[in-house]
Amino acid sequence: MVLSVYILSAAVVATICYVAYFLVGLIQGVRKQRAALKQWPGLPTHWLYGNIHQHPMFDANIRSQGGDPGFKFHRELTAQYPRGFYFFMGPTRGVLTANHPDIMKPILKSGDPKPLQQGQPSYRFVLPWLGEGLLLAKGSKWFRNRRLLTPAFHFDVLRPYMGVFNEAVDILLAKMDNFAESRESFEVSKNVSACTLDILLRCAFSQKMNCQTSGEHPYVEAVHKLTSDVIERCFAFQYYFDVLFNMSSLGKKFQKNCDYVHQFADSVIKSRRAELEKAQQADTTVSPGRKYLDFLDILLSARDEDGKGLTDVEIRNEVDTFLFEGHDTTASSLTWILYFLARHPEHQARVQEEIDDVLAGRSSDNVEWDDLGKFPYLVQCLKESQRIYPPVPFIQRVIQNDVEIDGKILPAGTTVDVSIYNLHHNPEIWPNHMEFIPERFSAENVQKMDPFAYLPFAAGPRNCIGQNFAMNEEKVLLVRLLRQFRIELDPDHPVVLSSQLILRAKYDVKIKLTKRQL
């Protein structure tokens, strides 16, 4: 009996010592991180909230209204701290917000992963939705999956997609014809998003689901809700911890939409696997009636050097990631370039003149593979639009090894907010940064540009794997649309920014269409 008491006492003491050791290590780590971040300038911090209460989006009323206050806040801080500043979310957790190419370069070139830790806003908030796909995976898993997926975006794979791009855009143009005749306002994001989802399902998964003609697809609606819920969680202090979030009404709604997009992805995979099995039985690489390999073909057949392929869960994660990233970001980019061209008829006219010169005398306005490099001024406008309104305005990285930046040592484990929006509006890098000036991206000016001054697709090893696919798709849609129509903004419709994972217009962008006489 006495021996049992001694053993129990020793176990209790050992447990207390272990917990104390853990807490001391945790406190020391937090102090080290805080001291490292405090080497940088920043706003005064509150003992509990840190700096998050100073962000306009911390106010639920402002957050529900959308608009520019959050982005204006970032622009003002960037002007005040053009290289970077600390920002604390609560009493312990904080990030270094990088605003300058010199600060971003060593971070992005290292290939450091995304933050997934508890207790602060992070990519962990989308983990239940996207899983450990290419966006969130790290280390050897990320390297393996990136290598397995890279062949899906080779030029030889992308080239046959041109037919699909044109077919999907035909449907969009037919809808736009009706709006031009009626002079009704055309909702850009709503319709373009349906088109980009249509394109992605065809090119990546060989699925035709009438996304453009059957109203807003439930998947598009679910994705919009998920991204909105993630932003809502970022500014709700109590939901930083999973257990509280999962018990809340917001968490339950988020999980319901997660379940839907997972079921959607599972159905796509199941259908495509059955199709691939039939193709293999017929001794062909693709199904009868289809002339190209799609993304899912490559995903299902990919093998590493040990002959191992992706598991069903890994495939689902990549499907969810690409269904989200492959259509939503592209739709955002297209929405904003059309917004700027509608606002600036002089640039619109110059783009249309360029398009007319390339397509003159053709029986069809279809854009071919060899045409993609023939629209330099259109590309300049597109890049300037992505500079002002980058589709993904903010990304983060966690430093894996101590690194010296600007003469300051940042320890491993530090979270860096690689603020693409701030970079693109840094007055030291981009004078008159709020003005739409496509000439910034002329060939001559690009040669003088720091390669880390413009990052709509990020940079370094973890850059956007699908950027060539996206740019090709955007060129085809823009050329076809601007060949057929002159566009102008609906003067009665407000354009209000929405602070979400993807930079959108809260109430969409509405334009008026006029059929061009060719």
Specify binding-site residues for heme: 464
With H, G, I as helix, E, B as strand and everything else as coil, classify residue 452.
coil
CA–CA distance, 485 with 516 (Å, rounded to integer): 5
Neighbours of 488 (CB within 10 A): 15
Q: Which residues are annotated as a binding site?
A: 464
> Do 71 and 451 touch, CB atoms closer than 8 A?
no
With H, G, I as helix, E, B as strand and everything else as coil, classify residue 163.
helix
- Dihedral, CA of residue 331, residue 181, residue 216 and residue 337, to nearest 10: 10
Angle at which helix 249-281 crosses helix 218-234, to 10 degrees, equals: 140
CA–CA distance, 82 with 436 (Å, rounded to integer): 21
Residue type, 392: V
With H, G, I as helix, E, B as strand and everything else as coil, classify residue 172.
helix
The helix (H) or strand (E) run that includes residue 72 is helix 69-80
CA–CA distance, 492 with 511 (Å, rounded to integer): 10
| Residue 128 vs residues 20, 124, 136, 249, 262: alpha-carbon distances, Å | 32, 8, 11, 16, 10
> Do 322 and 204 touch, CB atoms closer than 8 A?
yes
